[in-house]
Amino acid sequence: MAVIEIIAKIRDFLNTHEPVSEECHVVYMLVEIRKILEYKNCTQFAILKFYCDWAVHITKKRYGPIKGILDRIHDEWFDKNDIMISGRKKETVTFISHSNFKKEMEQFLKELVLPLGLMVPENWNAFIRILNSILINQPIVMSPAYRKIKEIKLVEINKEITAVTVLFS
């Protein structure tokens, strides 16, 4: 299937599923986006690809552009003596809050001239709630070759709040 056909499928989907309301819709959309990223061999959308992968896989063996982000998360959470410190620094907060994911999703949709209704705050919030419900308790396990982080896991605090836990190697 050509990229143009996948883009047309995403366009049709976005035009008929606003707001996204079911888990299968979120997974479908992320799978189709990942296909485009693979076809185009695109490294520009590292966070978007990371979440596309996480929604359908529980292990991560290739890191590519996301490695730098994982390294920064590691460095923000640990000091030079490998003692955990506050995780309230920029990279960690933007990862947990999905703000970089949102920026990349919007940029991806704009570049492909796709509908932007998903980016309306209430639609985006619905999408993220459903995505979080998919990712909760579905840790993404890093390959042993990546020696800084063993797994990343989303944990539900309550219906409105999730937290990220990171298990370091």
Please indicate, yes or no, if residue 151 is contained in any of the structural domains: no
Please indicate, yes or no, if residue 95 is contained in any of the structural domains: yes
Please indicate, yes or no, if residue 161 is contained in any of the structural domains: no
Question: 149 by DSSP, 3-state: which?
Answer: strand
pLDDT at 160 over 70: yes
| Predicted local confidence at residue 78, as pLDDT | 61
pTM, two decimal places:
0.83
Domain that holds residue 121: 3-137
| Predicted local confidence at residue 81, as pLDDT | 47
Residue 89 banded pLDDT, cuts 50, 70, 90: low
Give the separation between CA 104 and CA 164, rounded to whole angstroms: 20
Residue 125: phi and psi, rounded to 5, are -60, -40
Please indicate, yes or no, if residue 41 is contained in any of the structural domains: yes
Q: Among 6-15, 52-61, 131-140, which is the least confidently predicted range?
A: 52-61
Which is more confident, 34 or 83? Answer: 34
Find the mean pLDDT for residues 151-159: 82
Please indicate, yes or no, if residue 154 is contained in any of the structural domains: no
Q: Give the total number of structural domains in the chain.
A: 1
What are all long-range contacts of 7-13, with beta carbons under 8 Å and residues at least 24 apart? 7/36, 7/112, 7/114, 10/36, 10/112, 10/114, 11/114, 11/115
Percent of the chain with pLDDT over 90: 40
Please indicate, yes or no, if residue 144 is contained in any of the structural domains: no
Find the mean pLDDT for residues 15-22: 92
Please indicate, yes or no, if residue 27 is contained in any of the structural domains: yes
Give the separation between CA 94 and CA 4, rounded to whole angstroms: 31
